[in-house]
Structure 1
Amino acid sequence: MNLYQNLGYLVLGSRLRRLSEAFLSEINRAYQNEGIDFDASWFPVFYLLSKNESLSIKELSEQIEVSHPAASQIITGLKNKNLVTSATCTEDGRKQLVQLTDSGKQLLAQIMPVWEAVTAAMDQLVASEPSCSELLSSITALENTFKRTSLAGLITDKIKTEV
């Protein structure tokens, strides 16, 4: 057992971050191997825009569960690469509607087979390690628990009862 495994929940965030970074690095390498200029961090926006002709930045931020400024930053980066554009909503002038440009749509066509391959490869990896079979449902359960319960509050209660 390594240090991270020995420390259990004390390093859960660090382990999840390391796992996420390793996973995204591998996904980005797969895009590079295919000669596709795409960053895995763009996936949520591209996925949502593949399912919707246009979405407001607010809708994007809510669906990908990031702050409005964080979503705006992603969109600005994609605009700079000419992959998305935004226009003022005709019904509500305060809304900026984001949609894929022609270049973005061409890139989408290139990356969709990679998404299918990622799913198939992960299914294969998870099947080879039975203890991984509940990974996604366990992550969802933990996310839902954090939404319902204040971990900081529980920690404070534990400290107060031990003193």
Structure 2
Amino acid sequence: MYASASNTFDFFAKTGNLALGSRLRRLSNQFTEDAKRVYALYNVELSPKWFPVYYVLSETNEMAITEIAQTIGHSHPSVSKIVKEMEKAGLVELNRGVEDGRKNTVKLSLKGRAVALNIQDQYLDVSEVVDELLSSTTNNLLRAIEDMEDLLSEKGFYRRVYERRKERESGQVEIIHYKPIHKEDFRSLNYQWIEQHFKVEQADRDSLDHPEEKILVPGGHIFMARYRGEIVGTCAMIKMSDDCYELAKMAVKESVKGLGIGWLLGKAVLDRARSLGAGKVYLESNTILKPAINLYRKLGFKRVANHETPYERCNIQMEVELK
């Protein structure tokens, strides 16, 4: 049994904008089914899905499939499939490129050109009906679709949802101060990422196994990232002088990458160093860690050289001026 129209509208009323895609698909299906009957009414042998390709070809002598795809905003495979169906129906002639199949050109056949004559009355009547429908609506549907297409061409729907999810989940991340109970988290998070990319060095063991003595007591600080009650990231700032701190030992659990936790930890270090009157923050890294290097650049770090380093893996040094 099919759901009644009232039940369908109740569903859309309850789901609201969550069902935008479903509602547009339902409207599209309704137009497509009626379009089939309209073509039959005017004795036009076209499938509704062929119309964009047919219309473009009716306006020109011959076009490459790639050009058609670009013109109507469809993929090359989609247009190729439509062209094959239209060729089978005798509506188009396909000139297959010898060297490059993607340069195949298409033109309407004599039968296709004959359709162009029969369809003119259909164009006229359909255009008037659409104008009538649009004038009877509170909002102009075509203009709204154009606006939506423009917005989605700037940034796709998936990307917008991805970023909104990231924004929401990032809001659940807390940056907290290190406490003795975090010693094992600080150690294990850092050992894990170092062993994934490099080898653990003595300088690592000194600070990771003895964070209080090597980082905190000399005037440094350690931040921990907590997400949904779990410690998932950490970053230290090591005092180099009264005017400079080193951003070090940043590590984020692999399962929560993409939530902007590294950015929040980096900002916490910069804000803390600035509040202590420091003029700059320094760091050491390796260029194979491209996401990390990009993060540092976004935080304002620039490449410097000629600093001594205890790490074999270090091949890039960066600083950011705070004053």
TM-score when scaled to structure 2? 0.46
**Could you tell me the percent identity over the aligned residues?**
28
Question: Is residue 2 from structure 1 mapped to residue 13 from structure 2 by the alignment?
Answer: no
The residue number in structure 2 matching 1:62 is 70
Q: Provide the residue aligned with 2:273 in structure 1.
A: none
Q: Does 1:125 align with 2:145?
A: no
Query: Is the 8 Å Cα contact of residues 46 and 108 (structure 1) preserved in structure 2?
Result: no
Q: What residue in structure 2 maps to residue 103 of structure 1? A: 111
CA apart distance, 1:33: 1.9
Q: d(CA) in 1 for partners of 2:41 and 2:87?
A: 24
| Partner of residue 146, structure 1 | 152
How many residue pairs align between the two structures? 159
The alpha carbon displacement at 1:161 in A equals 4.1
Q: Which residue of 1 aligns with 2:141?
A: 135
More helix by share: 1
CA RMSD of aligned residues (A): 1.8
Structure 1 residues 48-68: Cα deviation after superposition (integer angstroms, max 9, x where no partner): 011111110000111111111
Give the 5 Å matches for 1:34-49: 34-49=42-57
AA in 1 matched with 2:118 = Q
Any idea what SS the aligned residue of 1:2 has? helix
In 2, the alpha carbon distance for the partners of 1:83 and 1:69 equals 19
Q: Which amino acid aligns with 2:94?
A: S
Q: Is the 8 A contact 1:82 1:101 kept in 2?
A: yes
Separation in 2 of the partners of 1:143 and 1:57? 23
- Unaligned 5+ segments in structure 2 are 1-8, 173-323
Amino acid at match of 2:133: L
Which one-letter code corresponds to 1:68 in the other structure? H
In structure 1, give the amino acid aligned to 2:111.
Answer: S
Q: Aligned to 1:74, what secondary structure does the other structure show?
A: helix
Taking the aligned partners of 2:163 and 2:27, their CA distance within structure 1 comes to 26
CA distance 1:123–1:106, shift in 2 (3 Å): same
Counterpart AA for 1:47? Y
Aligned-partner Cα distance in 2 for 1:156–1:124: 41
Are 2:92 and 1:84 equivalent residues in the alignment? yes
The residue identity in structure 1 corresponding to 2:161 is A
Matched, 1:160 2:166: no
CA distance in 2, matches of 1:31, 1:37: 7
Q: Tell me which amino acid in the other structure corresponds to 2:60.
A: N
Looking at structure 1, the residues matched to 62 and 36 of structure 2 have their Cα atoms a distance apart, in angstroms, of 26
What residue identity is the alignment partner of 2:136?
S
The whole-number CA distance in structure 2 between the counterparts of 1:9 and 1:140 is 18
Letter paired with 1:23: F
For each residue in 1:107-145, what CA deviation from the matched residue of structure 2 results, as whole angstroms up to 9, or x when unmatched? 12112321221111111122233x14x211111111111
Once the two structures are TM-superposed, the CA of residue 35 in structure 1 deviates from its matched residue by 2.8
Look up the match of 1:11.
19
1:80-112: CA deviations, max 9, x gaps? 0110011146xx953211000000111121123
Which one has more relative contact order, counting CA pairs under 8 Å at least 6 apart?
1
SS of 1:82's partner is coil
